[in-house]
Amino acid sequence: MYIVAIGWAYVILMMAITASSFGKSLVILIFLGALPISLFVYVADRPRRRRNSVSVPDEMSGQSDTADSQSDQN
């Protein structure tokens, strides 16, 4: 996944370097480089984010089993 983003960044960087002015190269870097790469990485990373958000361990939820068992034993 990341090799595609790195390749795209290289191509866009070469396009920006060969642009005729600094303004054009900045526009190329932003609109053809940064925005599409960030969108691609966000969409391509979606399955990992979804997989990590579904399973929340007890340590992360803030609840402990000992507090529940203490009230049951009294």
The verdict on residue 51 lying in a domain is no
The verdict on residue 53 lying in a domain is no
The verdict on residue 36 lying in a domain is yes
The verdict on residue 16 lying in a domain is yes
The answer to whether the pTM exceeds 0.85 is: no
Over its length of 74 residues, how does the chain's per-residue pLDDT go in tens digits?
789 889 999 999 999 999 999 999 999 999 999 999 999 989 988 888 888 877 655 555 555 555 555 555 65
Domain containing 14: what range? Answer: 1-46
Virtual CA dihedral for 54, 57, 63, 67, nearest 10 degrees?
A: 140
The verdict on residue 35 lying in a domain is yes
Question: Would you state the structure tokens that stand for residue 72, as one six-digit string?
Answer: 């049951």
Query: For the chain, what is the domain count?
Result: 1
The verdict on residue 72 lying in a domain is no
